[in-house]
Amino acid sequence: MFAFFWLAIAWLFHLLLWRLTPRVHGIRALIVVFLIFLSAGLFFDIHWVCFVKSLGIWSLLHASLVYISGALVYINLYSLIEDNSPSLTIILFTQEGGVAGRARQEYECVITDEKFIRLRLDALIQDRLILETSGLLRLTSKGVVLAKLLKFSSNILGLSPGG
Amino acid sequence: MTGHLYPLFVLAPVCGLLVDSVLHVIVSRMLRGRQIPSLAVAFLLGGLVSCLLTVQALKCSMFNSVEYWSCQMGNCLFYAALGFCYFNFVNLHIASLRIRILLELLSAGSEGLDVKAVLSKYNARDIINRRLERLCIGRQLLERNQRYYVGNRLFLLIARCNVLAKQLIQGGRYRKL
């Protein structure tokens, strides 16, 4: 219960922060907010409230794991909310077509290179995972590490990239 | 909850997740890369393991039935949260354009890739075709006489919830595409 309560407080803080400071957004900022609240919650409990601490170290671990799993669920959902998913955009656009439905060409006005492809490339550049110089895209050292990790996990999971 | 079986109670969902991920790898190879059925089977079996370990952990507890079932439901939710995260982790590898671009750039090495070549390969038309095909296979969309209609209403509900969530979080900054 302590973990759910603390997670709810962190979520409300995130909501308030996002509304008050429009420049603060993104997955990284969200992770920082949840980590700060996790650390603060553990510190607060260990030193003052002793609610969870009194039940032993396993209770602290339990509360932390529940908090982390809840935070990860929200972070996953947030990535859907922050980015515009092509699939969800297609579904909503099709619904708006009503009984007449939609022809394939009609989707080209909602799924454009500017709104989806260029935006994602710019996000990779902003995150310093790739560099664009003289019309060429290259991975940064940070991008190489991430790409190798992703390749490794793709091989383990037996997945091929879709896109 | 205290007692010598409390660590088992705490770790039951984590063990379930381990079983989920290992089984997913095995089953997806057996099913020749079909991800949704293998994820579903692995999730259910991982959940079963988590439940059985929770039952074992609660065996010697002095809980009444309300407390017992609350603990069970709590651990089920905990496992479901972990399973959802794993599902999204796998789905990212399949559906994410950014990951695909990163992997292509890794293959290209220090030579890199021309921006125009990337934009012509990963263009909106290509995304539309792939997604329409995938949505038709999953019956989220239906195709009749070369026109598309909404199929499975669940996905439409998810799309509408997504819009509501954008409006809640982004507020005035939200702009419909």
Average pLDDT value for residue range B40-58: 93
Tens-digit pLDDT profile for residues A97-122: 888 999 998 998 888 877 778 888 88
Chain A residue with minimal CA distance to B114?
A136
Beta bridge partners of B148: A102, B143
Share of chain A above pLDDT 90, in %: 23
Confidence of residue B21 (pLDDT cuts 50, 70, 90): very high
pLDDT band at B173 (very low <50, low <70, confident <90, very high): low
Give contacts of A 31-90 with B, CB under 8 A: 55-56, 58-59, 61-62, 65-66, 69-70, 72-73, 76-78, 80-81, 84-90
- Crossing angle for the helix pair A86-96 and B153-170, nearest 10 degrees? 110
Give the confidence band of A49 by pLDDT, cuts at 50, 70, 90: low
- Give all strands of the β-sheet with A136-139 in edge-to-edge order: A130-133, A136-139, B113-114
**Mutate which: A94, A120, A151, A155, vs B, most B CBs within 10 A:** A94
What is the Cα–Cα distance from B143 to A97, expressed in whole angstroms?
A: 13
Closest CA to B85 of A31, A68, A128, A10: A68
Cα separation, B171 vs A104, in Å, equals 32
3-class secondary-structure state, position B169: helix
What part of A 95-124 touches B (C-beta under 8 Å)? 95, 97, 100-104, 107-108, 110-113, 115-118, 120-121, 123-124
A136·B114 Cβ contact <8 A: yes
Least confident residue range of B57-61, B84-88, B133-137, B173-177: B173-177
SS3 state at A136: strand
Architecture of domain A86-157: Orthogonal Bundle (1.10)
Instruction: Give the integer Cα–Cα distance in Å for A129 and A139.
Output: 6
| Predicted pLDDT of residue A55 | 64
Average pLDDT over residues B47-55: 94
Query: Would an 8 Å CB–CB cutoff place A16 in contact with chain B?
Result: no
Cα separation of B146 and B123, whole Å?
22
Domain boundaries, chain B: 3-95, 98-173
User: B139 vs chain A: nearest CA distance in angstroms?
Assistant: 11
Residue A35: pLDDT band by 50, 70, 90 thresholds? very high
Tell me which residues of chain B, numbers 81 to 110, contact chain A at a CB-CB cutoff of 8 Å. 81-82, 84-85, 88, 90, 93-103, 105-106, 110
Among A21, A157, A160, which would you mutate to test the B interface (most chain B Cβ atoms within 10 Å of its Cβ)? A157
CB contacts, 8 Å: B174 with chain A: none
Dihedral sign for Cα atoms in the order B55, B59, B64, B65: positive
- What was the pLDDT predicted at A163? 46
Phi/psi of residue A131, nearest 5 degrees: -125, 140
Residue B69 pLDDT > 60, yes or no? yes
Distance from CA of B36 to the nearest CA of A (A): 12
Distance CA A104, CA A112 (A): 13
Q: Where are the domains of chain A?
A: 2-82, 86-157
pLDDT of A57-87, one tens digit each?
Answer: 888 888 889 899 999 999 988 887 777 788 8
Which residue in the set A97, A157, A163 is minimally distant from B25, CB to CB? A157
